[in-house]
């Protein structure tokens, strides 16, 4: 069996955030592979809710974000979600870097996932109680591949199972019922103003 080549690191690359005159229309790009990374770009009108990185640490949710330019790294193995972008907690064996840029009338977001060689592509989806922070549900997906494809397609079976009944969404520690979860939904979720559970 021939050995598969490991993509070389890309030391310089560009991501199109706006056209050559600096204008950008609202919308989102699909995830695309760039060497050892995957990149997602979203251009959101400033009137929509801000997308914020949330991480779960010791049964407590920490939210990161601020107006203007912002960058945040989510270390591999950390449960995280992006409010108004997907309604579940993602755990991956690769880092995620989140960037935010404000321009006139738009907020530009960039998610950069991956960057390491030799990873198995392990992912998990989880939900936590908003009252006590206990884990309600978790489903592991070993060797599921890159983060972008998993977020947009691979996580759907876990969402379907979680949303199937109120019992699946009930906290085993305090009884709080988690609302139904939503999939990775650029712009549609933000436009619907779904609360950031």
How many folded domains does the chain comprise? 1
Q: Which residues span the domain enclosing 54?
A: 27-191
Predicted confidence (pLDDT) at residue 189 exceeds the cutoff of 50:
no
- State the chain's mean pLDDT as an integer: 84
Q: Does residue 191 contact residue 185 with C-beta atoms inside 8 Å?
A: no
Domain annotation covers residue 71: yes
For the entire predicted model, the pTM comes to 0.84
**pLDDT tens figures, 16-58:** 666 655 566 777 888 888 878 889 999 899 889 899 999 999 9
* Residue 186 within any structural domain of the chain: yes
Q: Does the residue 9 lie in any domain? A: no
Q: Has residue 6 been placed in a domain? A: no
**Is residue 197 situated within a structural domain?**
no
In this predicted structure, the answer to whether residue 66 has a pLDDT above a threshold of 80 is yes
* Selection from 46, 115, 35 nearest residue 74 by Cα: 115
Tokens of 137: 């549900």
Q: Does residue 94 form part of some domain? A: yes
**Does some domain include residue 43?**
yes
Q: What is the domain-level CATH number for residue 174?
A: 2.60.120
List of E strands, 65-156: 70-74, 80-82, 89-92, 96-103, 106-114, 123-128, 135-141
| CA gap 4, 1 in Å, rounded | 9
> 10 in a domain, yes or no?
no
Is the model's pLDDT at 123 over the cut of 60?
yes
């Amino acid at each position: 069996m021939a050995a598969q080549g490991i993509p070389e690191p890309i030391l310089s690359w560009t991501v199109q955030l706006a056209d050559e005159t600096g204008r950008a229309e609202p919308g989102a790009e699909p995830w695309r592979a760039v060497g050892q990374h995957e990149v997602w770009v979203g251009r959101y009108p400033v009137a929509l809710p801000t997308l914020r990185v949330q991480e779960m640490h010791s049964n407590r949710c920490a939210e990161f974000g601020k107006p203007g330019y912002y960058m945040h790294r989510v270390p591999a193995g950390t449960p995280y979600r992006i409010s108004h972008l997907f309604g579940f907690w993602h755990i991956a064996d690769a880092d995620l870097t989140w960037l935010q840029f404000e321009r006139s009338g738009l907020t530009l977001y960039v998610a950069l996932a991956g960057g390491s060689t030799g990873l198995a592509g392990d992912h998990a989806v989880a939900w936590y109680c908003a009252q006590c922070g206990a884990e309600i549900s978790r489903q592991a997906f070993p060797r599921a591949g890159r983060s972008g494809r998993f977020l947009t397609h691979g996580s759907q079976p876990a969402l379907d199972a979680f949303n199937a009944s109120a019992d699946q969404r009930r906290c085993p520690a305090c009884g709080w019922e988690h609302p139904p979860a939503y999939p990775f939904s650029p712009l549609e979720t933000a436009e619907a103003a779904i609360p950031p559970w």
